[in-house]
Amino acid sequence: MKRKDAKLISRSLDGALSPEERIRVERLLETDSGAAATARVWQDIGDQLRIDAGRAPVPDPLLAWQEIRRKVRTTATQPDTPVMGSLFGIRLRWVAGLASVVFISLIGWSLFHDPRVAGEPVVSAPSPAAASERVEWVVAEIPGATTMIYTDRETDMTVIWMDLAQTDDPRDS
């Protein structure tokens, strides 16, 4: 059987033929026994398919829509996707680590480099009370001389005065 004849028979079973093509198919089935047998086989197969399709339940549109809504609600209640959650967590850990380093460094700097807190002698900005502690020791190298240490709070000046047993004390004038 020619291919074009098979196509013609297939289209006739589908009902998609023009009047001229229908006449041609009828003449073919009358003259060609093989084509007629093929047409009968194909028609039986098509009938069987229609019967089997009739046994399968047709889905209810309303039920199908409710199933879709149920699936949407179930998906919405699930937690965030792993990708977005891990990115946010990574950024927070970086910031926390860096902030802790800066914070600890600042605390340590203030403790170790503040001379007043560490107990070191005041160098840059001495208080009046601490100025009197600036003199560690004094030795008068001249025999018989005495020394006196005085700190003036107003001027923040520390005076080391050596008295050589002068008869006139200028501070008394």
Judged by CB under 8 A, the chain residues 19 through 78 that form the site for other proteins are: none
What amino acid occupies position 11? R
Q: Rule CB under 8 A: is residue 80 a binding residue for other proteins?
A: no
Q: Does 100 bind other proteins (CB under 8 A)?
A: yes
CB contact set of 135 (below 8 Å; sequence gap of 6+): 149, 158, 160
What is the identity of the amino acid at 75?
T
In this structure, the dihedral spanned by the alpha carbons of residues 16, 18, 23 and 25, taken in order and rounded to 10 degrees, is -30
Distance CA 84, CA 27 (A): 71
Of the two residues 48 and 155, which places its CB atom closer to other proteins in the complex? 155
Residues β-bridged to residue 149: 160
Tell me: does residue 141 bind other proteins (CB under 8 A).
Answer: yes
Q: Out of 16, 51, 72, 139, name the contact with other proteins by CB under 8 A.
A: 139
Would you tell me which residues interact with other proteins (CB under 8 A)?
Answer: 89-90, 93-94, 96-98, 100-102, 104-105, 108-109, 112-113, 115, 120-126, 131, 133-142, 145, 147, 150, 152, 154-164, 166, 169-173
